[in-house]
A and B are shown apart, each in its own frame.
Chain A
Amino acid sequence: MSTSSAPLTRPAFDRALWLVMPATAFMLLLFVYPFLYGLALSFDPKEGDWLANYKFFFTTDNQWPTIWTTLKLALPATLINIGFALPIAYKMRVKSRYQRWVTTILVVPITLGTVLIAEGMLTYFGPKGWLSQFLQLLHLYDGPIRLTHNYWGVLISLVISGFPFAFLLILSYITGIDPVLARAASTLGAGPKAQFRHIYLPLLAPGLAMCFCLAFVQAYSVFPSAVLLGSPAGPTRVISIAAYEAAFEQYDYSLASAIAMIMGFVQLIIVAAVLSLRNVFYRGPVSGGKG
């Protein structure tokens, strides 16, 4: 016991806050500064007034439609990934002999880079690829199979590379829900479907919204597979290709910055919309009481 009569006031500055410094410096140097630099650059076009880059983007026919082209890839890819990952993660929530194996196999693609996946897909899904040859060998489908160098190639690659991410995220949300809740629901007359609908789904909703945002942002910035597996001049000319061309083919960094800002803004709108939806659902601890 201290006998000193010093007043028990809180120190004005908590020295533990110094621990935040490295992360803050990192953010400032590698994110905030480049972002602000790009923002400023986008309003400083090679010619014309300060909004010239934005005017150019929204009035040029091979520029502004890239917003929709990218959305048409990123939204379905995100929904497919979550749609596939949710039931599988739900099945994998209980520990079983297969759980570890299935999880490992499903997660492997995350270790492959997008370029590697693209190379593999070109060999497998291509017109003379294994899939095509196999189907024709068995006479299951004799027509030409076009799953590369078009929209479908990019979509499939986004699913392959995005699925493990969505799966792992949802699995961690699901395993965080106390299984006793479902058992309690079952004693009250809820069958497996009702347990999912009334217990798991509402408790998962905020997590699914979060997962959607992260997966969407990832998919919206698609670049390598859109070039390698798509038709970068046509249906898969995504917004990042437009930015790339501006920066490294026309050497117009100012325009490229403006396109990057627009890309970020679209992502922000979707994320904000989904997260505001999240507030409708219950958010809080997902266990059923004490203990």
Chain B
Amino acid sequence: MRRLEPAAITGVMSREVANFRSYWKSTTFSSVLEPVIYLVAFGLGLGATIVDRVDGLEYVEFVGTGMVATAVIFSSALPAMFGSFVKERFQRTYDAILAAPVDVEELVTAEILWISIRAGVYGCFPLIVSMFFGLDPSPGMLLVPLFCFITAFGFAGFGVATAASVSKIDQFSYVTTLVVTPLFLVAGTFFPIDELPEGLQAAANLNPLHHLVELVRHAAFGFELTDLLRVAALLVFALALWRLAVRLMEKRLID
């Protein structure tokens, strides 16, 4: 592995920051408002009418903490997929950057890093919103941005790897329908995993988002020893998808 130069990485990230200034309002607006809508619909609607308590938690608390994972996947996998594709194919931004002293590995790392930092922040919004609906703050919650960052790193890597693999932008529909939607629905956000049939439970344990959901709930209501394993699993996921993204983008960008 060649050396990753910090100057190259911060240079690429400075481009993202400059661009972010032109669209931060819209992304931040939806990142804040979406959990509010979900909490009102599920938390109050479902919680007040059908479900009372889940796993010993108020349904609003259950969904509010679970929503963090939803915010993370939607602010990492999707922007990475579409963003990389557009920058690579339509705007030729990557071509411009690679003509400067920046290698594909540094480019991809910077892209993933920036998205993960952003998702680390956006992931906290559902938690903050939930506090207005009655969730009590706790010191463990200070670790939530870090958990979100690690998970987002993996999903951003997934998005970049996907962008490097598809030939047309419409093919993203397959990925969102077959991968992103199931991952976010079967993560334990809206209903507990242990009510599912055994096969699906096993599958859910392979879902990084499920581990994030558990970590966030435990951050709010008390950690368990097995949480260390969950963090380790998320780190492996992040590392693996980062390397895959670098490899596939190198193949795509260098003839």
Task: Indicate whether A and B interact.
Answer: no
Interface positions of B (Cβ within 8 A of A): none
Which residues does A use to contact B, with CB under 8 Å? none
